[in-house]
Amino acid sequence: MAKYQNMLRPLDLGFTTIRNRVLMGSMHTGLEEPEKLGAGGLAKLAAFFRKRAEGNVGLIVTGGISPNGEGRLVPGASKLSKTEEVAPHKEVTAAVHSVGSGTKICMQILHAGRYAYHPAAVSASAIQAPIGPFKPKELSEADVERTIDDYATCAALAREAGYDGVEVMGSEGYLINQFLAEHTNRRQDGWGGSYKNRARLPLEIVRRIREKVGKDFIIIFRLSMLDLVEKGSTWEEIVELAQGLERAGVTIINTGIGWHEARIPTIATCVPRAAFSWVTAKLKGAVSVPLVTTNRINSPDVAERVISEGHADMVSMARPFLADPWLVRKAEEGRVDEINTCIACNQACLDHTFGGLTSSCLVNPFACHETELVSTPAKTKWRVAVVGAGPVSRLACILFFGMNSTCVGGREGGKGGTRAEKRVWRGAPAAPVPRATAAAPTPPPGGAPP
């Protein structure tokens, strides 16, 4: 722990404690949609998050769940607005809490606004998004009040479902952002014009949520600290909102960088590690609640540096937990060299999401398929040699290790063969051995143990 003492230090929130400073950021995986999964409900999502809880991450934030029908990203997307929708979420929270690692889980409340891919889209003003197929309807003042109540009801239902808190998505260009910025808010009533009016929506949402859920429930607000669009929020406005959110009752402020329609890369491979942590650092001192920084933080070393330099109180990593659910645990156990690192390719996560497919990971195909790709110990033993030095050969070794087997390739550290990876996953041998045993010549796909 000494090497990562800042990242692994608990965070005391007063009414509860987070076991370390790592937040698994919100991701849409395609597992959130019970209407698409049918009778299976959220069982696949529960298995996905359970695996990450086993890896000792401090706090998980789910993919976005809408507070009402018009706020859904796509038709049939998940929402939480009625009591009968609570039960599937109880399976998710029970899966995380039953691990016993102390991992907490918050449900993200996300209203798509004009980013919705359906004709019922709504927004602050009737201005179509450059990346949206539908022109939104402008919400009436009565609609705004109803939407605020929908957020509060959604949060109360999330508490009933067993979540430790909620994250209010106020960044990335979704509905709350659309009210905050002149870029999309052309209203002339009490919800538009001055910044005080434009900021009423998020402040009222947080106030009413806090009234509904009480004091012992985490409220994270994902605050857009850098819009990267014309007529976005100024820094003075961002500070004013952050301070207002603290007074309204938020527990944690998370950092959002860039609207989805922004033309500046924020998470691609070309973006340097922790490239935007300076933005979060600017807010330090302006508020007293813990701050989370994000974007291109993909290793314990980067996380430790960001926190030790005072840029933030926590770090958010999302895609790195697709690549390796045991990232934090391996850091705790001194096995950082065994972490399967996210390469920020976006090909099996974001590309799949935008294509309406279930997400996964190019460097960990077991991600989001925890209930289908299940590795079991071998019954029939075979001798297996893995030839090659590339990622596929490494994955083969991982698969055999996961089946309680060993594999052997070329000379240690040399080319033209794969050395048996040392303890890549739990249960793997400490060193290469001369022979390998496996389940069958063509083993079924398996979920490699962490």
Residues taking part in catalysis: 174
Q: What is the number of other CB atoms lying within 10 angstroms of the CB of residue 68? A: 19
Where residue 40 falls (left for φ over 0; alpha for ψ -120 to 50; beta otherwise) is alpha
Measured between alpha carbons, how far is 226 from 265 in angstroms, rounded to an integer?
Answer: 12
Contacts of 285 (CB under 8 A, 6+ apart): none
3-class DSSP string for the chain: CHHHCCCCCCEECCCCEECCCEEECCCCCCCCCHHHHHHHCCHHHHHHHHHHHHCCCCEEEEEEEECCHHHCCCCCCCECCCHHHCHHHHHHHHHHHCCCCCCEEEEEECCCHHHCCCCCCEECCCCCCCCCCCCCEECCHHHHHHHHHHHHHHHHHHHHCCCCEEEEEECCCCHHHHHHCCCCCCCCCCCCCCHHHHCHHHHHHHHHHHHHHCCCCEEEEEEEEECCCCCCCCHHHHHHHHHHHHHHCCCEEEEEECCCCCCCCCCCCCCCCCCCHHHHHHHECCECCCEEECCCCCCHHHHHHHHHCCCCCEEEECCHHHHCCCHHHHHHCCCHHHCCCCCCCCCCCHHHHHCCCCCCCCCCCCCCCCCCCCCCCCCCCECCECCCCCHHHHHHHHHHHHCCCCCECCCCCCCCCCCCCCCCCCCCCCCCCCCCCECCCCCCCCCCCC
| Cα separation values, 35 from 67, 77, 128, 150, 360, Å | 16, 7, 27, 20, 20
- What is the distance between the alpha carbons of residues 229 and 213, in angstroms, rounded to a whole number? 34
Q: Do residues 75 and 118 touch, judged by C-beta distance below 8 A? A: yes
Q: Are 165 and 104 within 8 A, CB to CB? A: yes
